[in-house]
Copies of this chain bind each other. A is one copy, B any other.
Amino acid sequence: MSESPQALVVFSPSGKRGRFALGTSVLEAARELGVDIDSICGGRARCGRCQVEAVEGSFAKENIVSGGDHLTPMGEAEQYCLQRGRLQPGNRLSCQAQLLGDVRIDVPATSQVHHQVVRKDYEVHDIELDPVVHLYFVEVEEPDMHRQAGDLQRLERALEKEWGLTGLSCDLRVLQDLQPALRTGRWSATVAIRNRQQIIAVWPGFHDQAYGAAVDVGSTTIAVHLCDLTRGEVVGSAGSMNPQIRFGEDLMSRVSYAMLNPEGAAQMTRAVRQAITELIGRTADQAGIDPADVLEITLVGNPVMHHLLLGIDPAPLGTAPFALATDHALEVWASEYDIEVHPNARAYVLPCIAGHVGADTAAVLLAETPWDRDEVSLIIDVGTNAEIVLGNRERLLAASSPTGPAFEGAQISSGQRAAPGAIERVRIDRDTLEPRFRVIGGERWSDDPGFAEELTEALGDQRITGICGSGIIEAVASMYLAGIIQHDGSFNPAAAARSPRVEARDRSFAYLLHEGEPRIYIEQNDVRAIQLAKAALYAGARLLMDHMGVDRVDRIRLAGAFGSHIDVTYAMALGMIPDCDLAQVSSANNAAGTGARIALLNRASRDEVERRARTIEKIETAVDPNFQRHFVEAMGIPHSTQPNPELSKVIDLPEKTKTQRAPRGRRRRRK
């Protein structure tokens, strides 16, 4: 062998190199050297996944002169792929191109089996593409009376011979499709195999469509990202309101509905499953694919959403001791959830962590991986309950805090969900007490020129309808900074003399934020509701810090829609979150959805999140006296009467509050 003429081939970016007999295909050389090159068709010039580029030039280090002419010229198969757009101009199929001389071969990321899928959210590592479902093209022996073996057994033999897959099992529905598939495909077929173990689908001949859906079931909205399992890209995204809203705005009202109506839970289960099917259908339309090519689904949601989705009664989650039916991950047929995709697609539901800390939090953790850091991260997902995780490489603790729905705009006099027409940002001038604000749907502030016109164009006649969670937080914080309310949350009677916007009411005051139709006020009760909610959130975080034995966190990540809308400065001014370098407080954006996508694209991540969910320390806030103490102490605005050096860097804090006495509320509650 060593006497036949050989060529040197050097692969980048791996740097692997070796000498091979002339005529060896680039793919063979790559496999022999352990260079990671993708393939569905197994070297038959069909899938285009193995394409590479021959780099032109002299390379002193490698001591070679490389060029495309050191490979055999393009044949018919490659020309065909080129015409069909499966092969990039200038690239070659490594299964077809054979060595004629020394050559340097560049393997583009998209041709690598385990390539990195780039995540848009900053600061966090990319996803390594290694989904549970893979496609394999095979040619199967025709049946032979003299060597009898079933179609499935001959398929399995081909999978073993061509792809090294052994010990496979097979869904009944695949078996029902197998005979016609093999015969239509003239004894060639593509199979989808899950976990290198289970044959879940078969198509005649060559098939390269395999998709997955990452589904984030929120109480308010449901979001679906459709991903190409062979490339890792998101090919379609869609969201809709959770149709369960008609049974109850917030989680507890849905649990009540389930408890009061015998068919209630089943109705809500049907509604959410239909919505998921519908959204997957929409993303498939966007991508121009067949929903039957969706072969895997991942699902995340809080515990109540999780139970309703699974068809499990959520009633036990409504009362102490808040027992989950299961906190482990689940894997079932999507058809068991009545989700209409490929009939053998599996749905993977991430684990729940505790009674109020759900699979959504597990997904947030998978996206954030606080376990990879030495710094202590505080990760907060705000909803009807705030789900809070604290920790680092050493330890992780989780709790949920009963913030109530005020942060979602509920129980606020002019409150509403974050939707077009809602005031989302608020500033108040400290001298004039005049507000300025921004509304969802527009880019301009209310004192910018063209504000009204922009809004009218965006929203039509409807215009400003209320104030959403982030708006109310900024409003209350700004009212404090402007001296309209005091540290204990009560209106400062002196403010009424400074501006007609502070109106005296029967035994109280209200601040007129917007003089339109409807008028939008911030009332004393609204301030109280926000105080209660933020005190609960702060107390939950503090309790975890106590358990971990730290009095400071290194970074804070705010997950969810709320976290991406809020101005962290005002959140800290309000005393929602513990003190922290403001530069280290940031939004985790849609971390739950990202976590669902990671679990879809990388199978090792499932083991990771299951393992972490088991070892995380669960802290129950409801029965902890320290939680009560923190809660009462955190009622004031801001949370502490001590100066906050972090905030002082960016906001001019009112001097007098720094020495103000504790609020009445605190004293009353303490007895």
Residues of A within 8 A of B (CB): 142-146, 148-153, 170, 172, 175-176, 178-180, 183, 310-313, 315-316, 320-328, 330, 332, 336, 352, 354-355, 618, 620, 622-623
Q: Which 7 A-B pairs have the closest CB atoms?
A: A143-B323, A152-B326, A150-B324, A150-B327, A150-B326, A145-B321, A143-B321
**Pair B327/A145 contact, Cβ less than 8 Å:** no
State whether A325 and B150 are in contact (beta carbons under 8 Å apart), knowing that A310-B172, A312-B175 are contacts in the complex.
yes
A146: shortest Cβ distance to chain B, in Å? 6
Cα A152 to Cα B326 in complex, Å, equals 5
Residues from chain B with a CB closer than 8 A to the CB of A310 are 172, 175-176
* A515–B328 alpha-carbon span in the complex (Å): 76
Bound Cα distance A178, B355 (Å): 16
In angstroms, Cα B327 to Cα A477, docked, is 72
Tell me the bound Cα distance from A143 to B326 in angstroms. Answer: 12
Contacts of A145 in B (CB 8 A): 320-322, 355, 620, 622-623
22 contacts between A and B (CB under 8 A): A143-B321, A143-B323, A144-B321, A145-B320, A145-B623, A148-B321, A148-B322, A148-B324, A148-B354, A148-B620, A150-B327, A151-B316, A151-B323, A151-B325, A170-B326, A172-B332, A175-B310, A175-B325, A176-B310, A176-B312, A176-B325, A179-B313
- Residues in B with CB closer than 8 Å to A312 are 175-176, 179
A311 partner, pick from B176, B316, B322, beta carbons under 8 A: B176
Instruction: List residues of chain B with CB within 8 A of the CB of A315.
Output: 179
Q: How far is the CA of A339 from the CA of B212 in the complex (A)?
A: 31
Instruction: Please give, as numbers and ranges, the residues of chain B lying within 8 Å of A336 by CB-CB distance.
Output: 172
Contact B153 A355 (CB under 8 A): no
Partner of A618, one of B142, B148, B326: B148
Cβ of A355: which chain B residues have Cβ within 8 Å of it? 145, 148
Other A-B pairs beyond A145-B321, A149-B327, A150-B327, 12, CB < 8 Å: A145-B320, A146-B620, A150-B352, A151-B316, A170-B326, A172-B336, A175-B325, A175-B330, A176-B310, A178-B326, A179-B312, A179-B315
Instruction: Return the chain B residue nearest A147 by Cβ.
Output: B618
Q: How far is the CB of A321 from chain B (nearest CB, A)?
A: 4
Residues of B within 8 A of A327 (CB): 148-150, 152-153
User: Which residues of the other chain, B, contact A148 by a CB distance below 8 angstroms?
Assistant: 321-322, 324, 327, 354-355, 618, 620
Q: B residues within 8 A CB of A152?
A: 325-328
Is A179 a contact of B316 with CB atoms below 8 Å?
yes
Question: Smallest CB-CB separation from A154: which chain B residue?
Answer: B323
Cβ contact within 8 Å between B153 and A328: yes
The residue on B at minimum CB distance from A303 is B150
Give Cα A310–Cα B180 distance, bound, in whole angstroms: 15
Residues in B neighbouring A179, C-beta threshold 8 A = 312-313, 315-316, 323, 325
Q: How far is the CA of A312 from the CA of B181 in the complex (A)?
A: 12
Bound-state CA distance A502–B618 (Å) is 95
**A324–B147 CA distance with the chains assembled, in angstroms:** 12
Q: Is the CB of B325 within 8 A of A178?
A: yes
Chain B residues in 8 Å Cβ range of A354 = 148
Contact A150 B332 (CB under 8 A): no
Cβ contacts under 8 Å, A172 to chain B = 310-311, 330, 332, 336
Residues of B within 8 A of A176 (CB): 310-313, 325
Measured in the bound complex, the distance between the Cα atoms of B179 and A315 in whole Å is 9
- With known contacts A152-B326, A175-B312, A328-B153, A623–B321 Cβ distance under 8 A: no
Please indicate the chain B residues that have their CB under 8 angstroms from the CB of A183 in the complex.
Answer: 316
The answer to whether A151 touches B326, judged by C-beta atoms less than 8 angstroms apart, is yes
Most buried by B among A179, A183, A332: A179
Which residues of the partner chain B approach A144 to less than 8 Å between Cβ atoms? Answer: 321
Complex Cα gap A647–B239 (Å): 83
Docked Cα-Cα span, A4 to B355, in Å, equals 49
CA gap between A146 and B322 in the complex, in Å: 11
A75–B427 Cα distance when bound, in Å, is 79
